[in-house]
Amino acid sequence: MSLLVGIFGFMVFLVSVSLLFPHAQSQSGNLTNQTSSMAGYDYFNSQFNNILRNTTATVSNLHIATAGGWVVYNVWQENDKGNNEIYLAASDNGGVTYDTVINLSDNTGNSTDPQIGTFGDGSQVYVVWADDTPGNSEIFLRNSTDAGKTFHPVENLSQDIGDSVQPQLVVDVTGKVIISWISVSDKGSEVGTDCRRC
């Protein structure tokens, strides 16, 4: 008899815990689902819905752009190859899944500070960054007209002897792309600008 009372008491305890902490079980379920959808190990056990990149390298300067309701781009710098590179991940279904990550810089210099803009239905995308591969820092641009599937070759926008850094990029409602940056040399500093589709 005392055994039955004990079992009954334990069941009452479990029901009470479930009522007092209704979110405990659902959080655990979400975590299990997210873990199973990851491409690799989640070092931080964070509550991401989707892991775009999973690396022990240093990742920084992440930026995001979207257009047309379903096209999403993520761009960042990463030092996985001994120098910083500029990487891009594109999605055409609102970020549910992403295409294979693309290395936009793929050079031996330090490629940093990416900025991204897109236009229209999102098929046109522009990425700028600072890159010291030529010997001093220059502002590089690459653009795609097929939603990030392929990119045109690098354009060197600055082409000056100063260190050209901190690029900024905006795309207006007509599709005009304006890029500005700072160039620093022993003669002083300049703010440069360029335009595409102008």
* Sites of contact with Ca ion (CB under 5 A): 83, 85, 105, 107, 111, 136, 138, 158, 160, 164
To Ca ion, the closest distance from the beta carbon of 138 in angstroms equals: 4
What distances in angstroms separate CA 11 from CA 2, 6, 17, 21, 35, one per listed residue? 14, 9, 10, 16, 31
To Ca ion, the closest distance from the beta carbon of 155 in angstroms equals: 14
CA dihedral angle for residue 158, residue 59, residue 122, residue 180, rounded to 10 degrees = -20
Shorter beta-carbon distance to Ca ion: residue 160 or 190? 160
Shorter beta-carbon distance to Ca ion: residue 29 or 135? 135
Is residue 110 within 8 A of residue 131, CB to CB? The reply is yes
Shorter beta-carbon distance to Ca ion: residue 111 or 124? 111
Shorter beta-carbon distance to Ca ion: residue 107 or 124? 107
What SS3 class is residue 38? Answer: coil
To Ca ion, the closest distance from the beta carbon of 57 in angstroms equals: 12
Beta bridge partners of 90: 73
To Ca ion, the closest distance from the beta carbon of 29 in angstroms equals: 42
Query: In degrees, to the nearest 5, what angle opens at C-alpha 154 toward C-alphas 58 and 83?
Result: 25
Beta strands in the chain, from DSSP E residues, in sequence order: 59-67, 71-78, 85-91, 102-103, 111-119, 124-131, 138-144, 155-156, 163-171, 177-185, 188-196
Is residue 169 within 8 A of residue 181, CB to CB? The reply is no
Shorter beta-carbon distance to Ca ion: residue 92 or 131? 131
What SS3 class is residue 163? Answer: strand
To Ca ion, the closest distance from the beta carbon of 175 in angstroms equals: 27
To Ca ion, the closest distance from the beta carbon of 165 in angstroms equals: 9
Is residue 117 within 8 A of residue 169, CB to CB? The reply is yes
Shorter beta-carbon distance to Ca ion: residue 105 or 118? 105
